[in-house]
């Protein structure tokens, strides 16, 4: 039986190696794709990301990958955004001004407030709590690195939450088709790997 293919969007701002290793370990067939016309060939599209929102959106627009990701979502492809990749799914970010995102999830990306949290960025292991029965078996500690958090307009789309000064959305899903994870499951040991497997196979 052939392994399920996973497309990892390579736009120059992702933790590509660890993503490839994680999916390969799980028995998938991860392929790096940087050409927008090729995304339509895959049913599972992973958007990783490390760095600044505005630069990431610039890279996606420059390569026209933004249009292809949105089109793939419209055609029912599964889109998984991880860390910055989750934030890019949203309408806009207020990181260093206001920048329009992909708009697949209605909502904003907002900064942690310095007078509420101890340190920024939020780095390290933190507890994740299920807000959706599909994720009840995946509560636990995951590895985070971020200074901004996502706030969807529809709180019913929140699948996972965490606390860091405030309670924030650490997972989001629209019809189990457009999915975001704020933490790094690929760096979160066995629990994170099991969650990746669940998301792709669900």
What one-character DSSP code corresponds to residue 105?
E
Annotated catalytic residue 122: no
For 160, the token pair is 């996972």
Which parts of the chain are beta strand (E)?
Answer: 5-9, 29-33, 44-47, 78-82, 90-93, 99-100, 105-111, 122-130, 140-146, 148-152, 158-164, 166-174, 178-181
Query: Using an 8 Å Cβ cutoff, are 171 and 182 in contact?
Result: yes
Closest of 40, 150, 138 to residue 85, by C-alpha: 150
Q: Which of 146, 150, 169, 184 is catalytic?
A: 184
How many angstroms separate the Cα of 97 from the Cα of each of 45, 57, 92, 110, 152?
28, 13, 10, 11, 19
Q: Which of 67, 71, 83, 106 is catalytic?
A: 83
Q: Which of 7, 122, 169, 186 is catalytic?
A: 186
Annotated catalytic residue 118: no
What one-character DSSP code corresponds to residue 38?
G
Query: Using an 8 Å Cβ cutoff, are 99 and 87 in contact?
Result: no
**Where in the sequence numbering do the catalytic residues fall?**
83, 184, 186
């Amino acid at each position: 039986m052939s392994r399920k293919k996973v497309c990892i969007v390579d736009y120059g701002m992702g933790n590509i190696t660890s993503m490839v290793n994680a999916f390969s370990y799980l028995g998938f067939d991860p392929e790096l794709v940087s050409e927008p016309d090729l995304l339509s060939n895959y049913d599972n599209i992973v958007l990783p990301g490390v760095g600044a929102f505005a630069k990431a959106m610039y890279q996606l627009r420059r390569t026209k990958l933004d249009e292809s990701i949105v089109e793939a979502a419209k055609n029912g492809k599964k889109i998984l955004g991880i860390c910055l990749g989750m934030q890019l799914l949203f309408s806009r970010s207020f990181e260093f001004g206001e920048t329009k995102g992909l708009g697949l999830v209605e909502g904003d990306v907002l900064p942690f407030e310095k007078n509420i949290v101890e340190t920024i960025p939020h780095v390290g292991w933190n507890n994740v709590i299920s807000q959706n029965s599909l994720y009840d078996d995946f509560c636990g500690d995951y590895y985070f690195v971020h200074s901004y958090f996502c706030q969807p307009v529809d709180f019913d789309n929140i699948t996972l939450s965490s606390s860091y000064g405030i309670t924030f959305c650490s997972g989001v899903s629209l019809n189990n088709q457009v999915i975001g994870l704020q933490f790094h499951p690929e760096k979160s040991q066995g629990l994170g790997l099991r969650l990746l497997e669940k998301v792709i196979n669900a």
